[in-house]
Structure 1
Amino acid sequence: MNKVILTGGSSGIGKEINLFLLRKGYEVLFTYCHSQESAEEIMTQFKNAKAFQVDFTSESQLSTFLREIEVFDPDILINNYYNGTFIDTYFHKTDANKFLTDFQNNIIPTLQITQESIKVFRKKKEGRIINILSSSLASPAMGTSVYNSNKAYLLQMSKSWAVENVKFGITCNSISPSFIPTDFHKNMDERMKETILSAYPLKENLESKDISNVIDLCINGGKHFNGNHVFLDASHY
């Protein structure tokens, strides 16, 4: 198993996961939308990297990528893509259309990509699905109701994927890392970042290598390592 599809692999956590896999010798087809310069740098550095530019809010571009999945013939799918904000506003101030729009832009593409990947995996009688979620599922910050509801939906779906596909040699596991400052949090108040870090048991931010180690476990942990939701939070919660 050495061919990986990674959504959102040119920035933030996704980029770090991408680099880890590429250095390990995996062939990675990763998606990006706006980070073209970063994507090109990765492909220049690694011959086993293949970037695919796609805006998942576009039905035509999504359809093109879904066809690419069958051509690429992956062994592993890592669902990391998320297009939105971590902190928005209080639930009672959130427009109902915001919930619908973010669900359509994030969850629907992830479901379709996973469906196409499972079709490939079932033919091979082997496959790995890994979902990157968030430790905020256990202790939500104020203003994260939209983000957390989407991540919670994927967590529940992943449980079904694990049960339905394990007899075909396919496992599904989810990883919820604690807070890691990335471009995704660039609009977040610095005082809130400091508050989160001060309350964290280790008093230091999670590093990309910590996530990569669990990614490796999800890939190589065997068929019995299935249906797990791993929190990387130093037992914070």
Structure 2
Amino acid sequence: MLVKKVVLTGGSSGIGKEINVFLLEKGYEVLFTYCHSESSAKEIENRFPNAKAFHIDFTSEEQMTDFLAEIENFDPDILINNYYSGSFIGTYFHKTEAEKILEDFKNNILPTLQITQQSIHIFRKKKLGRIINILSSSMVAPAIGTSVYNSNKAYLLQMNKSWAIENVKFGITCNSVSPSFIPTDFHKDMDDRMKEMIVSGYPLKDKLEGGDVAHIIELCINGGKHFNGNHLFVDASHY
């Protein structure tokens, strides 16, 4: 059975946009979310008839309810959890208020869990499904000030293990992909010298592109039923 219908969270900018366009060009039908990048989302919709944009603020219960219903109607085969709202670099952990940690968890992890639960219900009925989580190699070598971001990504990595073992007998695989540093708007608050230092230490001496990550996504989709529970690094063997 072909797996061709994708739900992609955060598909209008950064890595998400490049994954989105890659899949659309391959003929996948993609339901993708956006919040602030409306012009980019509309541009993708206008370019690809197989693209469907869904505007959502994941902190809104009402909008989340509508999106979960939209997923049900769309009947996907693949879920790509890419969305992340917040900053990559904040402050030192000991200076981070507990409310900030809780807020980021509620804004990023809880919606991802709800969306994944909804998708698993659909996949189990089909006896087929692919779950792919976009994480970060920053978990392995964290920069100062990234404790909140990395802890959220690490939470999803642990969930990946549970989702993989619980659902594989239903034809559902779950894998996570951790790219190395990719300069995007998400890292706009980083000092340019830090960006240059990261790239200079990279084995290829060249920045990673979103398209490189998209090829690994395709592997997770088409890798077969035994390709399950993996955590893949896209980093030229940096870590």
Aligned-partner Cα distance in 1 for 2:185–2:211: 18
Name the structure 1 match of 2:141: 139
What do the CA deviations read for 1:85-134 (whole angstroms, capped 9, x no partner)?
00001111111111100000000000000000000000000000000000
Whole-angstrom distance in 1 between the partners of 2:216 and 2:84 = 20
Instruction: Name stretches of at least 5 consecutive residues in structure 2 with no aligned partner.
Output: none
Matched, 1:152 2:154: yes
CA contact (8 A) 2:10 2:33 kept: yes
Displacement after TM superposition at 1:214 (Å)? 0.6
Q: Quick one: which amino acid aligns to residue 15 of structure 2?
A: I
Deviation, 1:210, is 1.2
Name the residue aligned to 1:2: 4
Match runs of 1:11-22 below 5 Å? 11-22=13-24
* Paired AA for residue 44 in structure 1: N
Whether 1:45 aligns to 2:50 is no
Deviation string for 1:174-233 (max 9, x for gaps)? 000000000101111101101111111111111122111110100000000000000111
Partner residue in 2 for 1:89: 91
Structure 1 moving runs of 4+ over 3 Å: none
Q: Distance in 1 between matches of 2:220 and 2:104?
A: 28
Q: What secondary structure, in the 3-state scheme, does the structure 2 residue paired with 1:78 have?
A: strand
Q: Secondary structure at the match of 1:5?
A: strand
Tell me which residue corresponds to 1:173: 175
C-alpha root-mean-square deviation of aligned residues, in Å?
0.5
Tell me which amino acid in the other structure corresponds to 1:95. E
Counterpart CA distance in 2 for 1:71 and 1:101 is: 30
Q: Give the aligned partner of residue 26 of structure 1.
A: 28
Separation in structure 1 between the aligned mates of residue 166 and residue 224 of structure 2, nearest angstrom: 17
1:189 matched residue in structure 2: 191
Within a 5 Å distance, the mapping from 1:120-131 to structure 2 comes to 120-131=122-133
In structure 1, runs of 5+ residues without a counterpart are none
* SS at 1:56 equivalent: coil
Please give the alpha-carbon distance, in whole angstroms, between the structure 2 residues aligned to 1:233 and 1:97.
33
CA distance in 1, matches of 2:238, 2:39: 36
Matched residue, 1:63: 65
**Cα separation, 1, equivalents of 2:60 and 2:197:** 38
Per-residue CA deviations over 1:5-30 (Å, capped at 9, x if unaligned) read: 00000000000000000000000000
Aligned-pair CA distance for 1:40 = 0.3
Distance in structure 1 (CA, Å) of the matches to 2:127 and 2:89: 40
User: Secondary structure at 1:187's aligned position in 2?
Assistant: coil
Contact 2:178 2:233 in 1 (8 A): yes
Does the CA-based 8 Å contact 2:85-2:107 persist in structure 1?
Answer: yes
**1:21-51 Cα shifts (integer Å, max 9, x gaps):** 0000000000000111000000000000000
Amino acid at match of 2:44: I
Specify the SS of the correspondent of 1:67. Answer: helix
Structure 2: which amino acid aligns with 1:110? T
* Percentage of identical aligned residues: 76
Whole-Å Cα distance in 2 between the matches of residues 202 and 142 of structure 1? 24
Report the Cα offset of residue 234 of structure 1. 1.3
Partner of residue 236, structure 1: 238
For residues 195 and 148 of structure 1, the distance between their equivalents in structure 2, rounded to whole angstroms, comes to 20
Which residue number in structure 2 is paired with residue 116 of structure 1? 118
Partner of 1:203: 205
Aligned residue identity for 1:63: T
